[in-house]
Amino acid sequence: MRIRIEETICAISTPPGKGGIAVIRVSGPAALATAKKIAPGLNKKQIESHKAYFCEIIDLKNAKVDEVLVTYFVHGKSFTGEEVIEISCHGSTYITQKILDLLIENGCSMADRGEFTFRAFMNNRIDLVQAESVLSLIDSQNELSAKMALRQLDGHISKQFLKLESDLTWCLAHIEASIDFSTEGLDIIDNSVLIEKVKIILKEIYQLINSYQSGRLLKDGVKVVLVGEPNVGKSSLLNLLLQNEKAIVTEIAGTTRDIIEGATVHDGVKYLISDTAGLRETTDLVEKIGVDRSRQEALKADVLAFVLDVNERDWETSFALFKEVGGSKNLFLVNKVDQAPEISKAEITKKLQSYQANINPEQVILTSALDPKARSSVLDNVKTTIGSLSYLEEAMISSARQFEKAKYAADMIEVSLKELEKNSGAEFVAMYLKDALVSLQQILGHAYDDQIMDRVFKEFCLGK
Ligand SMILES: Nc1nc2c(ncn2[C@@H]2O[C@H](COP(=O)(O)OP(=O)(O)OP(=O)(O)O)[C@@H](O)[C@H]2O)c(=O)[nH]1
Ligand SMILES: [Mg+2]
């Protein structure tokens, strides 16, 4: 990410294509002056911050380009912290591009991806965790992921990392004081006090680290893979879950040859559902490749849904195949129950347990792809299987970067704790704690380098 704070940048902030209106954003020291050049009517008005002004955009030949609303944000009171102008124009691709060209002809530079948010970070308006949450918020496609991103944006997680940084700094300062007695104003504290303090820090870091699994699932979606023998109704269930006839369904065993994926939202959570080729031994080359792909796909599942046909009397083969792909979180969807209305869940569970003793009743769902109610019953059970998706009240991290940095900090603190407990030299302890502290500082951006900046901002879209 280029640092060029003295330049005024501009970009179209609304999605490409035509729309009712489009918004062009301008940020930097010459934002208002440039707006006045392309919209001379502004010169006649007393411009106040956070107010919108109706005016005409004029091109270099003095011809009218559009009638627009210009909103002005004074330096220090905008998202970027700089002087900002937002031009709301008619959403024609020609008009938006023309206004952007005029801004550039009048001295503005085209913004890089995420540069507005980057400037907000550089001007201390937000920290890196909040910058990442802006991206998550833009990407969010369901209620819970949007709520989680908003909570991160309002500084909920940042506060926790800040506290950890400050607690760790306190420990480090006291350890360093014992190395260098000249450090003024710090008492040498007992090892046991430090050990207790470090243990508390570790506990708090682990809470954040452990929230990543749920945070990631809320942000990216829960991956559910449907596997089973041919003809049991996997594709029919996929169509039911997606509420869309996405996969071909026939009575011919071996219909699905490839992975078919789709996303759906239920009760605020996003699910990514995959239908796979029926598992069986086959000499058909294409089907064989399909079956291999099913096995690969099963490995990627957050929840593996084994589909069985209730009409089958023998599930021996199915279970032999499941053992090959078995994940840690499994559900058993016993399908086509419309064809066996007399059967009870207790009976089915008992039968399943005869193949695999550790199956518990919560993992067993009787389904019929013909019954629309089966959709919520399957997805509710997936949510329960995942377990922690409703713990939005707690602070959650959802960025792999934050997770890796927190994990590294925890590892380093673990090492320093061992050294402390062994009563090793303070230099050793301090060395590891310093490493941990830098890693924590990198999370919020109190320490950063180009690599970190690129990782955070490269995924942003233009105009944000
Ligand atoms: N009565 C009834 N029929 C079903 C149900 N689910 C699927 N079927 C029928 O079972 C047959 C196979 O369904 P598919 O969804 O293609 O099965 P699949 O598991 O995807 O099969 P492959 O792609 O070959 O592995 C079709 O004729 C479906 O209409 C169900 O719940 N009840
Ligand atoms: Mg199929």
Domain spans in the chain, listed from the N-terminal domain onward = 9-127, 142-217+399-445, 221-386
Tell me how far apart the alpha carbons of residues 261 and 221 are, in angstroms, rounded to a whole number. 13
Instruction: Give me the pLDDT at residue 93, please.
Output: 95
**Cβ-based burial of 2 (10 A; exposed 0-12, middle 13-18, buried ≥19):** exposed
Q: What is the atom index within ligand 1 of the atom nearest the CA of 374?
A: 31
Strand ranges (E), 100-255? 109-110, 222-228
CATH 3.40.50.1820 for domain 142-217+399-445, yes or no, is no
What does the alpha-carbon distance between residue 33 and residue 61 come to, in Å, rounded to a whole number?
19
How much is the pLDDT for 290? 94
- What is the topology classification, in CATH, of domain 9-127? Gyrase A; domain 2 (3.30.1360)
Q: Is 369 in the pocket of ligand 1 (CB under 6 A)?
A: yes
Q: Which residue has the higher pLDDT, 188 or 410?
A: 410
SS3 content of the chain, % helix, strand, coil (to 5): 50, 15, 35
Which pLDDT score is estimated for 75? 97
For residue 368 and ligand 1, the question of a CB distance below 6 A is answered with yes
Cα–Cα distance, 445 to 438 (Å, whole number): 10
**pTM for the predicted model, two decimal places:** 0.79
- pLDDT attached to residue 185: 58
pLDDT recorded at residue 81: 97
Place of tokens 């002087």: 83
DSSP state of 436: H
Of 264, 230, 270, the closest CA to residue 249 belongs to 230
With a CB cutoff of 8 Å and minimum separation 6, the contacts of 293 are 258, 259, 276, 277
* Closest atom of ligand 1 relative to the 253 alpha carbon: 24
Residue 143 pLDDT exceeds 90: no
pLDDT value at residue 145: 87
Looking at the CA of residue 275, tell me the nearest atom of ligand 1: 20
Q: Is the shortest distance between the CB of 341 and ligand 1 below 6 Å?
A: no
**Cα–ligand 1 centroid distance for 368 (angstroms):** 10
Closest CA to 375 of 294, 297, 265: 265
Mean pLDDT of 388-405: 79
* Nearest atom, ligand 1, residue 335 CA: 31
Q: Indicate the residue type of 354.
A: S
Strands 303-309, 222-228: pairing kind? parallel
d(CA 353, CA 359): 6
pLDDT tens-digit readout, 260-295:
999 999 988 899 999 999 999 889 999 999 999 999
Tell me, what's the pLDDT at 395? 77
Q: State the distance from the centre of ligand 2 to the C-alpha of 395, rounded, in angstroms.
A: 40
What is the per-residue pLDDT for 133? Answer: 93
State mean pLDDT over 125-141.
Answer: 92
For the record, the structure tokens of 252 come out as 């011919």
Computed over every residue of the chain, the mean pLDDT equals 92
Rounded CA separation 395/391 (Å): 9
Q: How far is the CA of 9 from the centre of ligand 1 (A)?
A: 56
Task: Report the alpha-carbon distance of residue 360 to residue 373 in Å, rounded.
Answer: 22
- Please tell me the distance between residue 218's alpha carbon and the centre of ligand 2 in angstroms: 28
Residue 241, ligand 1, Cβ within 6 A: no
- Cβ(230) to ligand 1 under 6 A? yes
Ligand 1 centroid from CA 29, angstroms: 64
Pocket test for ligand 1, best of 229, 240, 248, 249 (most atoms within 8 A of CB): 249
Query: What is the identity of the amino acid at 11?
Result: A
Structure tokens at 451: 């690599």
The closest-lying atom of ligand 1 relative to the alpha carbon of residue 228 is: 19
Query: What's the 375 CA to ligand 1 centre distance in angstroms?
Result: 15
In terms of CATH architecture, what is 221-386? 3-Layer(aba) Sandwich (3.40)
Residues above pLDDT 90, as percent of the chain? 75
